Amino acid sequence: MNCALEILQSRFGYHKFRQHQSAIIAAVLEGRDVLALMPTGGGKSLCYQIPALIRDGAGVIISPLIALMHDQVAAMRLLGIRAAYLNSTLDFATVRETEAALLEGELDLLYIAPERLANERTLDLLDRSKIALFAIDEAHCVSHWGHDFRPEYKRLSFLHERYGAVPRIALTATADGPTRREIISELALENADQFIASFDRPNICYTIAQGAGGREALWKFLAREHEEDAGIVYCLSRKKVEDIARWLTNKGRTALPYHAGLHKDERQHNMERFLRGEGVIIVATIAFGMGIDKPDVRFVAHLNLPKSIEAYYQETGRAGRDGLPANAWMSYGLQEVIMFRQWLRGSEAGETHKRVQHGKLEALLGFCELTTCRRQALLAYFGEELPAPCGNCDNCINPPETYDGTIEAQKALSTVYRTGQMFGVQYLIDVLGGKADERILRNGHDALSTFGIGADVKPVEWRGIFRQLIAQGFLTSDTQGHGSLKLTEKSRPVLRGKQQVQLRKRRKPAPAKARRRPRTAITLSQADQPLWDTLRTLRLDLAREQNVPPYVIFHDSTLKELVSAKPATLDEMAEISGIGNTKLKKYGQVFLDAVTGSPDQP
Ligand code: ADP
Ligand code: ZN
C-alpha cells in the first residue's frame, strides 16, 4: 500500500486517497474481486489504474465508452502510463501494434470495448497475455433496470470462468438495489468485496423552478450564474434539442446539439468541441453524457422532467466532477406533468413494469414539488441519511412558503367533477375564472355552481394549483391524450372536507439585494485575473497542439492553485495537487515561466 500512495503522489500528483480508494486498491492488490459503487466524480478510475500499475501485467478495462477511449488513453499517457485501446475505430495496423505491445508486456492499461471480447482473436490474445486485473467500468450496463443496458455486458461473466485467477473490479455510479443485485448475479460477483461510497455531491446546488417559462428561465439562469461556463442542457425531444441549441446560439452562446438522430460524425464532432473547447454548451437528449469525464461542467440544466430520480441524479451528476461549485437546474410546468402521466398510462409496457414506472414517476414528481431540503430527499431515495438540511439547494437557500390550499383544491376538483371529467386545464381555469366564452356557454357551464368561484385567483396561480394537484395524485389525465383531467380515489376525501391539501406559494423572485451572488466556481481577485487568463490560454494552446481536451493537461483546480500559490520553483510547483512527476517534467517550466512572468513569455 505504501507503493500505492507513492504512485498517487508521484504519478497523479494528489496528496491523499479519497473515501474507499485505498481499501479498494488494497483488496485488488490482494487478488480479490471488488464491486465499487461511487458517485460520478468520486474517483473510481484510480481504483483500477493504481493496482494495474503495481500488479504484474496489464490492467484490462472493459468500457462501453468507445468515443471517449482516445482521450482516456491520452490522459494516461500524459501521466507517463503506458496505455492503449482496442475498439472498432482503429485501423488494422494499430490493432496489431497494440496487440504486440500487450504480448510483450509493454502496456500498463488496455481499454477494450465489450463487443470486442466476444471475438476469438481477442480471447486468444488475452489467453496469451499477462493480465493484472479486469476492470468492468459502467457495470450498471449489465442491468435491464438501468438506463444504459448493453447486451454485450451480459456475457462478461465468462471473464470469471476463463480467467478465474485474475481479480475483477466492477465499477458504477448507479446505486439502487435492483441494479446492484443484477450486477452481482450477472457478473458472478457473489464473493466480491463491496464498497459503497456516499452518493452525496456536496458541491452541486440543486434548483427546481416550477411553472417557469422554459427557455427564458434558462436564459436568465445562464446570464445570472454561468455567462462563460461549459454545461449541458437536457431536453426530451430531438426537435427541442435543435431549437434550443439554435436559440442559444442566436443569443451569442456556443451551443451544439447532440441526439441520436444526428449523423455519427456530427455527434462526435459536437462532443469533441464540448470536451476540447472552453465554455461550450451541449444541448442534448439523454443519449448524451454517460462516462463524459469532463471535470469542469459547471451546470446541468433540464428543460424537461427526467425519467426518474435515478436519471435525474445521474444526469445532474455530470456537473462539477472537479469538486468545484456547480449547478443542477431544472424547469418544468403543468403541461410536462400532464404529458408524463399520459405517456405512462398509455405505454405498452406490461403491468409489473408499469407499476415500477409509476412508482418512479410518483417519486420524481414528489421530489420536484418538495418544499424541504432536496439533498436530504435525494439521498434518502438512495437509502442514505443526511442529518441536517444541506444549505445548498433552492429550498434551503430560499425556503418556499406553503399554505392550506384545501379550499382552492376543492374548487378545482369540484369543477372537474361538475364538468363531467372531460376537459383540460385551460377550460377548467376558464370556468373557475367565470369566462363566459362560446364553448362554456354552449356547454351550459356558466350555470355551474363553480362558475366564476375562482375569479379571485389569477389564471397563472390556478395552473400552479392544478400542477400540484396532479403531482400529488388528486387528479389524473386521460389515456387518450386529450389532456382531460379526472378525479382519483385520493380526491374524494378532499371534496368531502375530510382531508387538507397543502400547497406551495408561487415563488416571487427574490429582491435584488437578497439574491445570491453568482457562485462562479473560480473566484479570483482582480489582480490575479490576468495570470488566470494567461494560464488558460497556455493550457488551451498546449491542448490543441497535442489533440487532447484542456483538462487533460491540468484541471481548473490545479490552475487555480497555481494562480494563488504562485510557485517560484519547480519544487514548489510539485506540491500543487494535480501535478505529478511526468507533468512537472513536461509542463512545469512553461507554466512556471508564465507564473513568474519570465521575460521570454509572451
Ligand atoms: P469517477 O470515474 O468516479 O466519476 P474519476 O475517476 O474521473 O471519477 O475522478 C474524478 C476526478 O477526481 C478526476 O479528475 C480525478 O483526477 C480526481 N481524483 C480522483 N481521486 C483523487 C484523489 N485521491 N485526490 C485528488 N483528486 C482525485
Ligand atoms: Zn438543501
Domain 204-332+370-397 class, CATH top level: alpha beta
Domain 403-504 in this protein, CATH class: mainly alpha
pLDDT given at position 600: 53
CATH architecture designation of domain 2-196: 3-Layer(aba) Sandwich (3.40)
| Residues 58-76, mean pLDDT to the nearest whole number | 92
Helix or strand run (H / E) with residue 392: none
Atom 17, ligand 1: which residue's CA is nearest? 43
Q: What is the mean pLDDT of residues 26-41?
A: 95
Q: Is the pTM of this model over 0.75?
A: yes
Same fold for the domain at 2-196 and the one at 204-332+370-397?
Answer: yes
Residues 475, 466 contacting (CB under 8 angstroms)? yes
Q: Mind listing the pLDDT tens digit for each residue in 195-232?
A: 999 999 999 999 998 876 689 999 999 999 999 899 99
Give the domain 529-596 fold.
DNA polymerase; domain 1 (1.10.150)
CA distances from 67 to 79, 112, 216 (A): 21, 12, 33
Q: Which of 185-189, 514-518, 549-553, 570-574 has the lowest mean pLDDT?
A: 514-518
- For 253, residues 6+ apart whose C-beta sits below 8 A from its C-beta are 222, 281
Lowest mean pLDDT among 45-49, 332-336, 400-404: 332-336
List ligand 1's pocket residues with C-beta within 6 A.
Answer: 14, 17-18, 21, 38, 40-46, 293, 295, 321-322
Q: What is the pLDDT of residues 101-142, one digit of tens each?
A: 999 999 999 999 998 988 899 999 999 999 999 999 999 999
From the CA of 38, give the closest atom in ligand 1. Answer: 3
Distance 25 CA to ligand 1 centre (A): 14
- For cell 461549459, name the residue: 230
Q: Which of 109-118, 241-250, 470-479, 552-561 bottoms out in mean pLDDT, i.e. has the lowest?
A: 470-479
pLDDT of residue 102: 97
Which ligand is closest to the CA of 393, given by its number? 2
Give me the residue spans of the domains in the chain: 2-196, 204-332+370-397, 403-504, 529-596
What pLDDT score was predicted for residue 369? 87
Ligand showing the shortest atom-to-Cα distance for residue 395: 2
Q: Sorting pLDDT into bands at 50, 70 and 90, what band is 602?
A: very low
**Residue 210 CA to its chain's centroid (Å):** 20
Mark out the alpha helices in 143-293 (DSSP H runs): 158-162, 177-186, 214-225, 238-250, 264-276
Model pLDDT for residues 373-428, shown as the tens digit of each residue: 999 999 988 888 999 999 999 999 999 989 999 999 999 999 999 999 999 888 99
Q: What is d(CA 82, CA 58) in angstroms, rounded to the nearest whole number?
A: 9
